[in-house]
């Protein structure tokens, strides 16, 4: 056990986490250079494209130090986004130390702080690493000051590194061995292994990633997942190199995987404890919680005949993403679909993109919503995440919405603009601190609903990319909520309804009406598009009637061209939804539901 080190790399997005992981893998010769590709641990296209890590990956790095001692360094790569903070916390709980990566040109950012707090919570040894020192704009001294003042870490312990060209990689490996303690635990005790991730493999079922704290697990054992009480027979245990490598057993201190005929990842819970059924641990490991979705939206197939195919895609998708929840939903405008719950906005985008790209689905996603809480006059409390189930406003005594605490780190010159943005977004209880000269940390309590509506894009744009942002859910607070309906020629388009704070209703209504106006093709009659609260119209735009749609000439060469166009339009018509007598193309739904500003 004294030759094992379990560690993770934590960093603000874009500070070079995946590149450093790549370098460590190359340095330890886990793969030869021929097989190597960048972002090797990020296996999904979407991860590689966006430069983010969505799923954790674990890799066991063989390392021989200067004295010839052999070590197993388990790198547990964590997702780099607040949506997945619970997964991150479970990964950190599996480690004894972390590399805290800071970009030498960007310095400490909001997520760096969030990451640091998470690591401190788990009593981890923190090795600060200043990355990207090769950049001409690198300012190592400034970053050292920030590490001292903002993170409260000894800047002299920071390792200078360029993951890009490999500088400092050896120092890092040495520091991992020297500074991070080996795991402790007792192989003789009953098994306790922490599940920090689970992947789906179409041949083997669920591959459970875990850290063994006490005891041993091997092929043939019957294991019990403690929160569920379910039992499985172990088919294989092993460690992650680049591929899975079966081992005879996993014992205390080790990180690896268990394959036990578990059908879907939803049968496992991240944070759960694995024990052996015949000799169970008396207590599960601490920190388990059931993660609940915080953002909701409905997914409809663009062509209504594709419902079945969407259902199958969701079922398949769900095999590998236990945090997505969904149930049937239906809309008069869009037909049959699904109401889905996500961990956050990024999670929502990932689900959308993967359904489209990996599962070849064409979908319409309704506006993201948070879960609102209504206290009704008969004393019942109703949680509503779908505008469809908005209660009769006459029966509502009071309403509440979820709040977050936002923490924003910016250069001082943007304070005014950011304060203004946060106040526009109903931010309250602001606090400011000046961790280092020239930099400000602002915290605000803000409705989550305001954050999921283009907040991050706006923040980045007003701070020219220098603003960083992190948040945590805090509580529910009283709020004045209304349901905004969108009407096309007097008919409600239910899929476009949203629950919104009263003060924002008009702006949102105007925005949606204008976008629909641009996207709904003119028809032979005038089309009125209205935003309404209850029976009251609060915004209106009009699409004038189209009076002529015929090309002047149609001879030999025009006929093929026109037929091809018609064939295309016919396909498009399948994707049109009819509301009243108005044909609404999918693009109109997509445009109306877009949250950004273009």
Partner 1 sequence: MNRTGHPGLYVHVPFCKTKCPYCDFYSVPETGRAGKWLRAVLEEASRYSREFPRFDSLYIGGGTPSLLGCDDIGYLVTGLKAIFRFDDGAEVTIELNPDDVTKEKLALYRSLGVNRASLGVQSFDEEEVRFLGRRHSGRQAGEAARLVAEAGFAEFGVDLIYGLPAQTVRSWRKTLYQALSYEPAHLSCYQLTVEGDTPFSRLSREGGLELPDDARGADLFLAMSEYLSGRGFAHYEVSNFARSEETVSRHNVKYWQHTPYLGLGPSAHSFSGRRRWWNHRGLDVYLRELGTGSSAVEDSETLSEEQMRLERLLLGFRTMWGVELKDLPGEDRANRLEDLRKKGLVEVRGERMVPTLTGYLFADRLPLMVSE
Closest separation in Å from C-beta 576 to partner 1: 10
Q: Which residues of 383-399 are buried (b: 16+ CB within 10 A; e: fewer)?
A: ebbbbbebeeeeeeeeb
Rounded least distance, CB 302 to partner 1, Å: 17
Q: What is the closest distance, in whole angstroms, from the C-beta atom of residue 301 to partner 1 in the complex?
A: 18
The Cα–Cα gap between 313 and 308 comes to 9
Neighbours of 309 (CB within 10 A): 15
Q: How far is the CB of 241 from partner 1 (least distance, A)?
A: 54
To the nearest whole angstrom, how small is the minimum distance from the Cβ of residue 541 to partner 1? 18
| 248 vs 571, beta carbon nearer partner 1 | 571
Shortest Cβ distance from residue 364 to partner 1 (Å)?
Answer: 21
- Cβ proximity to partner 1, 381 vs 545, nearer residue: 545
Nearer to partner 1, 67 or 553 (CB): 553
State how far the Cα of 369 lies from the Cα of 383, in Å rounded to an integer.
Answer: 12
Measured from the CB atom, is 502 or 563 closer to partner 1? 563
Beta carbon nearer to partner 1, 282 or 560: 560
Q: Give dist(CA 477, CA 50) in Å, integer.
A: 35
- The span from the CA of 260 to the CA of 436, in Å, is 51
Residue 506 host element (H or E): helix 502-519
Nearest to 197, CA basis, from 209, 188, 179 = 209
For the bound state, the minimum distance from the C-beta of residue 561 to partner 1, rounded and expressed in Å, comes to 10
CB closer to partner 1, 538 vs 579: 579
C-alpha distances in angstroms, 228 versus 68, 275, 478?
45, 12, 35
What single string gives the DSSP state of each residue in 151-180? T---GGGPEE-BTTTTBTHHHHHHHHHHHS
Which residue's CB is nearer to partner 1, number 117 or number 546?
546
* Residue-wise burial string across 465-482, b where 16 or more C-beta atoms lie within 10 A, e elsewhere: ebbbbbbeeeebeebebb
Binding positions for partner 1, rule: CB under 8 A: 522, 524, 544, 546-557, 559-560, 562-563, 566-567, 569-570, 573
End-to-end Cα, the chain, rounded Å = 56
Instruction: Pick the closer one to partner 1 by CB: 429 or 569.
Output: 569
Quickly list DSSP for 217-273. EETTPEEEETTTTEEEE--EEEEESSSEEEESEEETT-EEEEE-----GGGS-TT-E
Least distance (Å) between residue 85 CB and partner 1: 49
């Amino acid at each position: 056990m004294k030759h094992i080190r379990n560690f993770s790399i934590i960093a603000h997005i874009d500070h070079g986490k995946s590149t450093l992981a790549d370098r460590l893998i190359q340095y330890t010769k886990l793969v030869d250079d021929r097989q190597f590709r960048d972002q090797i641990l990020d296996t999904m296209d979407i991860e590689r494209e966006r430069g983010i890590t969505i799923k954790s990956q674990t890799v066991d790095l063989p390392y021989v130090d200067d004295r010839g001692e052999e070590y197993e360094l388990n790198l547990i790569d964590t997702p780099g986004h607040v949506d997945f903070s619970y997964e991150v916390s479970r990964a950190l709980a599996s480690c004894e130390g972390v590399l805290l990566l800071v970009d030498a040109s960007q310095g400490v950012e909001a997520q760096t702080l969030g990451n640091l707090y998470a690591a401190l919570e788990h009593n981890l040894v923190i090795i600060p690493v200043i990355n990207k020192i090769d950049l001409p704009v690198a300012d190592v001294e400034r970053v050292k000051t920030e590490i001292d003042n903002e993170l409260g870490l000894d800047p002299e312990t920071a390792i200078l590194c360029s993951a890009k060209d490999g500088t400092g990689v050896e120092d890092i490996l040495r520091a991992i061995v020297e500074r991070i303690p080996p795991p402790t635990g007792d192989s003789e005790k009953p098994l306790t292994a922490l599940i920090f991730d689970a992947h789906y493999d179409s041949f083997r079922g669920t591959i459970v990633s875990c850290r063994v704290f006490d005891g041993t697990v091997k092929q043939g054992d019957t294991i019990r997942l403690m929160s569920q009480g379910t039992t499985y027979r172990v088919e294989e245990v092993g460690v992650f190199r680049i591929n899975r490598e079966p081992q005879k057993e996993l014992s205390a201190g080790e990180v690896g995987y268990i394959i036990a005929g578990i059908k879907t990842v939803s049968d496992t819970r991240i944070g759960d404890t694995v024990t052996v059924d015949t000799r169970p641990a008396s207590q599960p490991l601490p920190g388990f919680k059931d993660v609940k979705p915080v953002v909701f939206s409905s997914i409809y197939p663009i062509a209504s005949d594709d419902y079945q195919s969407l259902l199958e895609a969701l079922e398949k998708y769900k095999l590998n993403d236990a945090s997505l929840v969904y149930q049937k939903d239906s809309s008069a405008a869009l037909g049959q679909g699904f109401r889905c719950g996500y961990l956050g906005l990024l999670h929502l985008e990932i689900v959308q993109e993967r359904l489209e790209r990996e599962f070849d689905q064409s979908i319409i996603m309704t506006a993201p919503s948070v879960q609102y809480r209504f206290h009704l006059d008969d004393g019942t409390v109703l949680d509503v995440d779908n505008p469809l189930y908005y209660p009769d406003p006459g029966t509502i005594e009071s309403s509440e919405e979820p709040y977050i605490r936002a923490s924003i780190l910016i250069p001082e010159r943007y304070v005014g603009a950011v304060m203004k943005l946060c106040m526009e977004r109903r931010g309250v209880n602001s606090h400011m601190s000046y961790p280092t000269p020239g930099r400000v940390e602002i915290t605000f309590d803000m409705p989550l609903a305001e954050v999921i509506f283009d907040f991050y894009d706006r923040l980045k744009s007003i701070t020219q990319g220098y603003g960083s942002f992190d948040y945590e859910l805090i509580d529910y607070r009283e709020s004045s909520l209304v349901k905004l309906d969108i009407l096309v020629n007097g008919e409600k388009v239910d899929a476009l309804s949203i629950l919104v704070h009263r003060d924002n209703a008009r702006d949102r209504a105007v925005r949606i009406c204008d976008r629909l106006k641009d996207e709904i093709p003119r028809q032979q009659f005038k089309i009125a598009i209205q935003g309404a609260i209850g029976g009251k119209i609060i915004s209106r735009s009009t699409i004038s009637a189209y009076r002529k749609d015929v090309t002047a000439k149609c001879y030999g060469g025009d006929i093929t061209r026109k037929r091809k166009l018609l064939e295309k339009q016919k396909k498009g018509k399948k994707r049109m939804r009819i509301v009243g007598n108005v044909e609404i193309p999918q693009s109109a739904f997509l445009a109306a539901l877009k949250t950004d500003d273009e």
